[in-house]
Chain A
Amino acid sequence: MFASIFWFELKYWFRNPTIYIFSVILLLLAVLLMGASAGLFDAASGQRVADSPLSLYTFIILFNKLILFIVPAIIGNSIYRDFKSRAYQVMYTFPFTKWDYLAAKFLSSLTMVLIIAAVTVLGLYFGTQLPGTHQELLVETGAETYLQLYTHYLLPNIFLFGSLVFVLVVLSRNIYTGFIAITLLLIGRELVFRIAGNSGTFIVALFEPLGETATLLTTKDWTLEEQNKNPLPFSELILFNRLLWWLIGCASLGLAYLNFSFSQHGWNLFAYKSRSTRNTKNNFGSLIRIKLSTVVINFNWVHQLRLLWRLSHIDFKYIIRSGSFISMALAGGIFIVVLLTQMNPPYETRILPVTWVMLAFPIFFFSLLVNFLTFLYAGVLIHRGRNTRMHELLDVTPVSDVVFALSKVLALVKMQLVLLAIIFVSGIAVQAYSGYYTFEIGHYLFDLLVIHLIGFIVWTLAAVCVHTLIAHSYVGLFMLILGFFGVSQLEMIGLRSHVFHFNQDIEPGFFLNYSDMNGHGYSLIPYFILKGYWLLVGVLLFLGTVIGWSRGTNTTLRARINMASQKVRGRLGLAVAIGAVMVIATGFMIHRIENAFHAPHETMRSQINRSADKKYGHLKNFIQPRIINVAVTMHLFPEKESFESTGIFTLLNKSNQYIDTLLVNYSHDAFTEYNLDADYETLLKDTIAKFDVNRLKHPLAPGDSLHLSFCVRNIPNSGLFQNSPVLKNGTFITSLIYPGLGYYSSSLRGDPNDSLARQNHYRSIDSDYISFQATVSTSSNQIALAPGYLIKQWNTDNRNFFQYQSTSHVTNDFAFTSGRYQVLRDSYQNMPLEIYYHPAHVYNLTHMMNGLKATLAYCEKYFSPYQHKQVRIIEYSRKTGDFAQSFANTIPVSERSFVMDIDESNPLALNVSFLGASHELAHQWWGHQVIPANVNGSRMITESMAEYISLCVLEQTYGKEKGKLFRRKALDIYLKRRVEDENEEPLIENSGLDKSYIFYQKGSLALYALRDFLGEEKLNLALRAYLEKVKLQHAPYTIPLEMVEYLRQATPDSLSYLIHDLFETVTLYDNRLKDYTITKLPTGKYQVAINFTVTKFRSVNSQKVFEDSNGETLTHRDGHATVNSLPLKDYIEIGIYSSRGSVLHLKKHFVHAINNTLTVEVDEVPGLIAVDPLVKLIDVHTDN
């Protein structure tokens, strides 16, 4: 019997279009995704191989998650079909056993899903074979890897989720339970990740159902090269994980078997039985007289509206009372609470619970949840009549298709409002709980109801349309989910215009950049334009819904098309025509704005730069006059979001040759006009690269000067794009908008050995030091600032004017800020310290001020006097960025840094406000007094030093423990980021601008390590000597090697390995405490014998190298394993602490072998023994 049911089922599925729809969709998706990753659309980036085992694995896991949503539609449906069609009433009387029935149902449907999964895997393979893929992104992984992925991941996962869904549908007799269970499991999984951290722990890895964590845990330390080459691991952890879930899958099948009976009624989670009564009939015979009272029956439009509302409310109540909705909403609520408590994990940077934070954190997850529930319940509501077989009663009621369809939309929107209310309530609750009482109700309502809801409504219209047109609710659901994830990928297949990106924003997630100073700013305008367009499309989809609305009993395609064509002939057709015309017109308009002139976006800009580098790269060292004086006038118009600026550069020929060619570059972000006060002709004007070549009629003699005058205006905001850097409040504009001399490209940074590169310092290529005057004007309620000192301030024509001038020489690198500020004034040794802040952001001002003072004291003590007579910190809007930048006596800081939650008593948190101010101020020495050449590694002199100083100042102010915490975090970031980097370079030659982990984290650790060995005084003295040597020097500018020479001179020979290890090479330790014994001595003291291993290696092109330059290596046999190390003559600190935390022993021990033993006597019972307890060395093994 088993076999015949099994074959019957398989035949059923093979005749069912669903299977083919799913297979084809997944096949195409797999081919496209693989093709795209292998460079098919030239959208692939980086060096990640597309078909390495690990890449294949990530694809497989992605598809696995998609396939999970098919599982209910097939495995759940195989059994649900019999309940739904009521076939069970007959079937259950047939002579087969429960076992035959269930096993055949499960295995046949499982087979179908496995076939679909196999098709997906094949799709990935086909993707690698597509013509047009880039061979360097492919390694031709063999079939056995595909097979392994299939058998180790897809097969067990589908089996597991299949059996879970099967048991749930068997028990509940409701297919949606399956969908909900899958979703809840995936949410739960996400929750555990949030709590346990993504890399996860052993336990998480063991219990995570997809086996993803187990694999990630095994591969997390792989370098890019290993990621591209290594076969997939099959560690014990993965094995146990798989075994465990096989067992759980089998157990749930057992449960299904035990709980299944051939009976009429299912099992209900919320079942209750009210008091039972015995029913007897008493309605025999009796003729009756029917006399009905009169009722008013009405069909005017007021009634239609009321009808609409009532119908939607009935559907809405049905949704929110359903167990599925309640469990999902509950899961969502819990998720938010976890997220918002996670928002300030003890170990991380803490931010105040301001409203934009409350809104930003939950929305990604919630938009998934809201959309998923919309997709699900759209299907449930639309098919509800038919599924319960009540449709004939409903369809003969005099309710128009429009009202029916609209009532479903309205019900779904009401459901969305409930979910959004969860965000609102939990946001307010978390704020109140955290003692933050600035409740911005309007901000909440605007974001939730205006920004998010409109997007949800558009999806609702799409969902209702899809479910109306597709009779199978699970096919509809799957298509919607696919569409939801697919639309963001449209660009990958060449559909670049936003006109095609259904319901997507032009600036995705713009609402996350909400600024307290500037609100959503200009971003709202493109948002409303696009959303207006998509709402129109939504209306069109709704008209499609009404036309395709299925009513009555004949639902064959032909009958529905007949019905639809009849409807189209009426007013509906006219509405569709009008709607279509409007959509096309709006789309056309949007397309035109898109293609109209605007400031180039990121990818376009880098394309322009690449081709310009090819054309003009050879001009980078072309001798040019130098700018020596800058006088600018900047008129800011915050209300109009525009600016207009004029100015004059004085150019001096500092070279010893005549200069007849002037290379002028100017900004992509502004309109620039310029003129020279000498006769010239323009030989080349490249308006795309923004680069001109001008020939002077009379060459500029050495020592001669001329003037370049210019006028720069913003590109107006164009509806879809914000082109102007001016904001209504909190504007921050840097001098990059002004023209410059010479050809400049950030990718053409010089090599430290390149003497030409040393002619320029890293802040500008067209000047050494300038004198600077600026007049800035802004609206009357704002203060505008620029570097230098305020000379004059006045008000004309109801505008504020400020005149700034720097008295000492500064670099040609400045910025303007303007906002409605309040000012906090303080002083340090009679020098004014000022913070210009948004009036509501009062939280971190004291900490910043303290950071400034402590850093001034530290740097003046150890290095040199501060070169300006004032320090200003100025807040600017988040819209422009989340960073801070140091200009002469002026430090613009993003408003994000003004809302940090600083808790000085928390041992696990750092005072980031203090640190931030300290870091930026330290740049006034390291960056403004010591100005390195524009060469690779130069940021070691600026960023590493600023980090080092802020670490020293932090430790001085807050104690050793906070210093250790700082280093611990820096080490974590460094180790995490370096494995993602294929080509880590040593500090002194690091070229990547994006490799901040090297100059910031590693730099601070390296300098601190050296300080620890040499002593603070000694190291800082060396640094001071270096600073004095190069301070405000002229070309050739200093390079990192020069700084390292000063450090080397200060280092005794026994420690000279440190300089090589820390600065000149990438060197890491792997130190481990092996074991220890503690013996109580008769004296009352304790003898501690410690066994620890020390190994050290260099990292060259991501490979571990254990040989030194003489080809020598240390080896040690530890049991079966051989351990290698570079030769050692190193000092390693060993710490022993009492259980109270007091130091019993802390000393550096000389180590020249891998395996070491050490015996020390201490006064108390040791509670903790550690190698390098204060995190001074760069050690890959951080948890000893």
Chain B
Amino acid sequence: MGIAISNVSKTYSNGVKALDDLSLHIGMGMFGLLGPNGAGKSSLMRTLATLQLPDRGTVFFDSINVLQEPMRLRRTLGYLPQEFGVYPAISAEDLLDYFAILKGVDSRSDRKKRVQEVLELTNLYEVRKKHVAGYSGGMKQRFGIAQLMLNNPQLIIVDEPTAGLDPAERNRFLNVLRELALTATIIFSTHIVDDVKDLCKEMAIMNGGRILQQTTPRNATKELAGKIWAIHISRDELEAIESAWPVLSSTYVDDQKIHVRVHADSQPTEHFQPAEPELADAYFIALKKDA
């Protein structure tokens, strides 16, 4: 059970090459697609979600040829776009019922039951009579999850779902996804490294329409063991370090000092201390390699 993406390319009419001969295999469970803004993540997600056709390439979900038989995929698809609106002046309960109808839940009692369940799961039951259009960002995102669960989806695609959520909301959200991943393939795109670290069994790093690296969070850090070095410097020293060594990140520790992480096979100078590799290091290394 899984997704097979082969040689998919897409160039938009404004000349942007969003997907560049991209191939990817994804199995069951939670898959994280990590990449900066504009990497082509959403283009890939929309292609998987049957919302747009690539110029070239094939996409299969099990036996379903996604590009040729979109309707078959849609029957087992749960999709949460990066950003969405809702019809004004409709309550969550009514709107979920509407989506349940659209997703083929035929019997009225089934729908009623299912809508109530997903409302409870997403903790929206209390506000089910309120207009969704008036929801806060977090509530709306939970509504997005709720609609996604209406039809026992086998393939779930969520595009940057945690952007703009407060920590507690994010946490809860990720927990729900983790639960869903027990029975479905979930593809989850984000530009937040921690989302992937906390959640995904497998992951890929994407930029410029290509997959730069497909790995698991654990392997990614394991490979870097002994190759990450850290140093505390003052602001004035930064440029010199940057020109000398491949700097992965530089962050203020306090008002004066900057914590700089560098990727190198051996200790650059004695001022550098060995550091525990993090997923973020792998991410930056992959992006740097590509650049």
Asked if residues A290 and B149 are in contact (CB atoms below 8 Å), the reply is yes
Measured CB to CB, the closest approach of chain A to B145, in angstroms, equals 10
**Contacting residues, chain A, for B99 (C-beta < 8 A):** 393, 397
Asked if residues B117 and A293 are in contact (CB atoms below 8 Å), the reply is yes
Question: CA of A297 to CA of B107 in the docked complex: distance in angstroms?
Answer: 9
Q: Is A447 positioned at the interface, with any CB of B under 8 Å from its CB? A: no
Asked if residues A389 and B175 are in contact (CB atoms below 8 Å), the reply is no
Q: Is A621 positioned at the interface, with any CB of B under 8 Å from its CB? A: no
**Contacting residues, chain B, for A396 (C-beta < 8 A):** 49-51, 74, 77, 79
Measured CB to CB, the closest approach of chain A to B69, in angstroms, equals 11
Question: CA of A310 to CA of B13 in the docked complex: distance in angstroms?
Answer: 37
Report which of A281, A306, A552, A559 forms a contact with B106, defined as CB distance below 8 A: A306
Q: Is A296 positioned at the interface, with any CB of B under 8 Å from its CB? A: yes
Report which of B53, B117, B147, B176 forms a contact with A393, defined as CB distance below 8 A: B147
Q: Is B171 positioned at the interface, with any CB of A under 8 Å from its CB? A: yes
The stretch from B108-116, B187-195, B204-212 touching chain A is B108-116
Asked if residues A389 and B84 are in contact (CB atoms below 8 Å), the reply is yes
Given A290-B180, A295-B110: A283 and B169 within 8 A (CB)?
Answer: yes
**Contacting residues, chain A, for B180 (C-beta < 8 A):** 290
Q: Is A400 positioned at the interface, with any CB of B under 8 Å from its CB? A: yes
- Which residues 37-70 of B have a CB within 8 angstroms of A? 46, 49-53
Report which of B46, B106, B175, B179 forms a contact with A297, defined as CB distance below 8 A: B106
Question: CA of A598 to CA of B180 in the docked complex: distance in angstroms?
Answer: 74
**Contacting residues, chain A, for B23 (C-beta < 8 A):** none
Asked if residues A297 and B113 are in contact (CB atoms below 8 Å), the reply is no
**Contacting residues, chain A, for B84 (C-beta < 8 A):** 389-390, 392-393
Name A397's closest neighbour in chain B (CB-CB): B102
Given A554-B52, A559-B52: A287 and B175 within 8 A (CB)?
Answer: yes
Asked if residues A388 and B105 are in contact (CB atoms below 8 Å), the reply is no
**Contacting residues, chain B, for A310 (C-beta < 8 A):** 101
Measured CB to CB, the closest approach of chain A to B263, in angstroms, equals 35
Q: Is A360 positioned at the interface, with any CB of B under 8 Å from its CB? A: no
**Contacting residues, chain A, for B176 (C-beta < 8 A):** 288, 290
Asked if residues A297 and B104 are in contact (CB atoms below 8 Å), the reply is yes
Name B171's closest neighbour in chain A (CB-CB): A285
Given A297-B106, A297-B151, A388-B85: A283 and B113 within 8 A (CB)?
Answer: no
Asked if residues B114 and A289 are in contact (CB atoms below 8 Å), the reply is no
Report which of B74, B113, B171 forms a contact with A295, defined as CB distance below 8 A: B113
Q: Is A976 positioned at the interface, with any CB of B under 8 Å from its CB? A: no
Given A283-B168, A393-B147, A396-B79: A296 and B106 within 8 A (CB)?
Answer: yes
Q: Is B121 positioned at the interface, with any CB of A under 8 Å from its CB? A: yes
Question: CA of A991 to CA of B81 in the docked complex: distance in angstroms?
Answer: 79
Question: CA of A306 to CA of B12 in the docked complex: distance in angstroms?
Answer: 38
Question: CA of A296 to CA of B83 in the docked complex: distance in angstroms?
Answer: 29
**Contacting residues, chain A, for B74 (C-beta < 8 A):** 396-398
Asked if residues A297 and B152 are in contact (CB atoms below 8 Å), the reply is yes
Report which of B12, B87, B172 forms a contact with A384, defined as CB distance below 8 A: B87
Q: Is A553 positioned at the interface, with any CB of B under 8 Å from its CB? A: yes
- Which residues 288-318 of A have a CB within 8 angstroms of B? 288-290, 292-293, 295-299, 303, 306-307, 310-311, 314, 318
Asked if residues A389 and B46 are in contact (CB atoms below 8 Å), the reply is no
**Which interface residue of A290, A314, A551 has the most chain B CB atoms within 10 A?**
A290
Question: CA of A295 to CA of B150 in the docked complex: distance in angstroms?
Answer: 9
Q: Is A1077 positioned at the interface, with any CB of B under 8 Å from its CB? A: no
**Contacting residues, chain B, for A311 (C-beta < 8 A):** 101-102
**Contacting residues, chain A, for B53 (C-beta < 8 A):** 552, 554, 559, 562-563, 566
**Contacting residues, chain A, for B88 (C-beta < 8 A):** 388
Question: CA of A362 to CA of B111 in the docked complex: distance in angstroms?
Answer: 44
Question: CA of A388 to CA of B84 in the docked complex: distance in angstroms?
Answer: 8
**Contacting residues, chain B, for A1107 (C-beta < 8 A):** none
Asked if residues A285 and B168 are in contact (CB atoms below 8 Å), the reply is yes
Name A174's closest neighbour in chain B (CB-CB): B88
Report which of B71, B79, B85, B172 forms a contact with A283, defined as CB distance below 8 A: B172
Asked if residues B52 and A552 are in contact (CB atoms below 8 Å), the reply is yes
Q: Please encode chain B, from 143 to 170, with 1 for each CB lying within 8 Å of some chain A CB and 0 for all others.
A: 0100101011000000000000000110
Name B169's closest neighbour in chain A (CB-CB): A283
Q: Is A1110 positioned at the interface, with any CB of B under 8 Å from its CB? A: no
Measured CB to CB, the closest approach of chain B to A385, in angstroms, equals 8
**Contacting residues, chain A, for B106 (C-beta < 8 A):** 296-298, 303, 306
Measured CB to CB, the closest approach of chain A to B83, in angstroms, equals 7
Q: Is A433 positioned at the interface, with any CB of B under 8 Å from its CB? A: no
Asked if residues B152 and A295 are in contact (CB atoms below 8 Å), the reply is yes
Q: Please encode chain B, from 230 to 246, with 1 for each CB lying within 8 Å of some chain A CB and 0 for all others.
A: 00000000000000000
Asked if residues A290 and B172 are in contact (CB atoms below 8 Å), the reply is no
Asked if residues A292 and B77 are in contact (CB atoms below 8 Å), the reply is no
Measured CB to CB, the closest approach of chain A to B76, in angstroms, equals 9
Given A388-B86, A396-B79, A399-B102: A552 and B46 within 8 A (CB)?
Answer: yes
**Contacting residues, chain B, for A558 (C-beta < 8 A):** 13
Question: CA of A307 to CA of B105 in the docked complex: distance in angstroms?
Answer: 10
Given A296-B107, A563-B53: A288 and B168 within 8 A (CB)?
Answer: no
Measured CB to CB, the closest approach of chain B to A353, in angstroms, equals 41
**Contacting residues, chain A, for B123 (C-beta < 8 A):** 283
Q: Is B98 positioned at the interface, with any CB of A under 8 Å from its CB? A: yes
**Contacting residues, chain B, for A295 (C-beta < 8 A):** 105, 107, 110-111, 113-114, 151-152
Given A292-B149, A396-B79: A552 and B51 within 8 A (CB)?
Answer: yes
Question: CA of A552 to CA of B77 in the docked complex: distance in angstroms?
Answer: 15
Name A396's closest neighbour in chain B (CB-CB): B79
**Contacting residues, chain A, for B197 (C-beta < 8 A):** none
Question: CA of A500 to CA of B164 in the docked complex: distance in angstroms?
Answer: 57
**Contacting residues, chain B, for A284 (C-beta < 8 A):** 168, 171-172
Question: CA of A551 to CA of B107 in the docked complex: distance in angstroms?
Answer: 27
Report which of B71, B113, B147 forms a contact with A398, defined as CB distance below 8 A: B71
**Contacting residues, chain B, for A286 (C-beta < 8 A):** 172, 175
**Contacting residues, chain A, for B102 (C-beta < 8 A):** 307, 311, 394, 397-399
Name A403's closest neighbour in chain B (CB-CB): B102
Name B14's closest neighbour in chain A (CB-CB): A556
Measured CB to CB, the closest approach of chain A to B184, in angstroms, equals 11
Name A318's closest neighbour in chain B (CB-CB): B87
Q: Is A82 positioned at the interface, with any CB of B under 8 Å from its CB? A: no
Question: CA of A395 to CA of B53 in the docked complex: distance in angstroms?
Answer: 13
Question: CA of A39 to CA of B52 in the docked complex: distance in angstroms?
Answer: 53
**Contacting residues, chain A, for B110 (C-beta < 8 A):** 295-296
**Contacting residues, chain B, for A279 (C-beta < 8 A):** 127, 136
Can you add 8 more A-B contacts, CB < 8 Å, to A310-B101, A314-B98, A558-B13? A285-B171, A288-B175, A292-B118, A293-B114, A295-B111, A297-B106, A553-B46, A553-B52
CB-defined A-B contacts under 8 Å, sample of 18: A283-B123, A283-B169, A288-B172, A288-B176, A290-B180, A292-B114, A292-B152, A293-B113, A295-B113, A297-B75, A297-B103, A390-B87, A392-B49, A392-B79, A393-B86, A396-B74, A397-B102, A398-B102
Residues of B participating in the A interface, judged by any CB pair closer than 8 Å: 12-13, 46, 49-53, 71, 74-75, 77, 79, 81, 83-88, 98-99, 101-107, 110-111, 113-114, 117-118, 121, 123, 127, 136, 144, 147, 149, 151-152, 168-169, 171-172, 175-176, 179-180
- Closest 7 interchain pairs by CB? A389-B85, A398-B74, A552-B51, A397-B102, A295-B110, A554-B52, A392-B81
